[in-house]
Amino acid sequence: MKSKFLFFALIILLAGGCSTVRYAPSSLKKLARKNTSKRMVIRTGMISIKVGDVPNAVQSTLRITNEAKGYLENKSDKGDSYSSLTLRVPSPKLKATMAKIAEIGSVTSRRISSRDVTEQYIDVKSRLKNKIVLRDRLRKLLDKAKSVPDILAIEKELNRVQSDIDSMRALMKALNGKIEFAKLNVYIKRGKILGPLGYLVYYLGWGLEKLFVIQK
């Protein structure tokens, strides 16, 4: 009799767990608007520069990153002619860090993008809270179980719920990390270094152009 009671209790409990609060898109937007002072935004920056000495430029970039309390995530080189850096810097310091890196060489391209994940963050946080409540209820139910079938059924569901909790916590941790530290891709390329004749041809071409066009 007690076994049947626990079985039905488990069914009711899981039914309640399956109906955990999931905000509708409109509700999530309302909640997000209420938290305008705590927007969850992932920022990504990209800057490409040409320099005379790539290794020195890389060292300068890493020094600037360290000063901003950031760190190097990945690095790829092609000898002394090219280097690609993936950096992580505190999100509030992204623009300032890019501005300092821009001073190292000649900027060929630069951009900053952002993605608001406030709604996703609220949704995951809500589901995680409900899963934890469900897990705690299953643990209490497991303490009352006596028969082997009941114990096995509850433990199976408990393991599934705990797996969901671990996944959601990992997702929350990843989101927090991306929100706190912006991703910055830096591309450093060695520019052409003109010799004496190269400069002569360059300025000769510039002078000839000015004979025909003063201002574009």
**What does 99-113 look like in DSSP terms, one character per residue?**
HHHHTTSEEEEEEEE
pLDDT band at residue 210 under the 50/70/90 scheme: low
Q: What percent of the chain has pLDDT over 70?
A: 71
pLDDT greater at residue 16 or residue 162: 162
Residue 6 has pLDDT above 90, yes or no: no
- CA trace torsion 173, 175, 176, 177 (10° rounding): 90
| Cα dist from 99 to 96, 129, 179, whole Å | 5, 41, 20
Is residue 30 exposed (0-12), middle (13-18) or buried (19+ Cβ within 10 Å)? exposed
User: What per-residue confidence (pLDDT) applies to 38?
Assistant: 78
Q: Give the chain's length.
A: 216
On the question of pLDDT at 48 being above 60, the answer is yes
Name the residue among 83, 78, 89 with its Cα closest to residue 104: 83
Q: Cβ distance 104 to 57 under 8 Å?
A: yes
- pTM for the model: 0.71
Of the two residues 180 and 215, the one the predictor is more confident about is 180
Tell me if residue 140 falls in helix, strand or coil: helix
CA angle centred on 176, ends 172 and 182, rounded to 5°? 140
Average pLDDT over residues 93-111: 96
Helix intervals (H) in the chain: 2-18, 25-34, 54-67, 94-102, 118-144, 148-180, 196-212
Q: What is the pLDDT of residue 196?
A: 60
Domain count within the chain: 1
pLDDT at 72: 97
Residue with tokens 């955990």: 20
State residue 209's pLDDT score.
59
Span 187-210, average pLDDT = 62
Task: Return the pLDDT at 55.
Answer: 95
* Average pLDDT over all residues of the chain: 83
Question: Cβ–Cβ contacts within 10 Å for residue 120, how many?
Answer: 16
CB 66, CB 90: distance < 8 Å: no
Segments forming the whole domain that contains residue 88 = 1-216
- 150 CB-near residues (< 8 Å, 6+ apart): 3, 6, 7, 10
pLDDT in tens, 124-172: 999 999 999 999 999 999 998 888 988 899 999 999 999 999 999 999 9
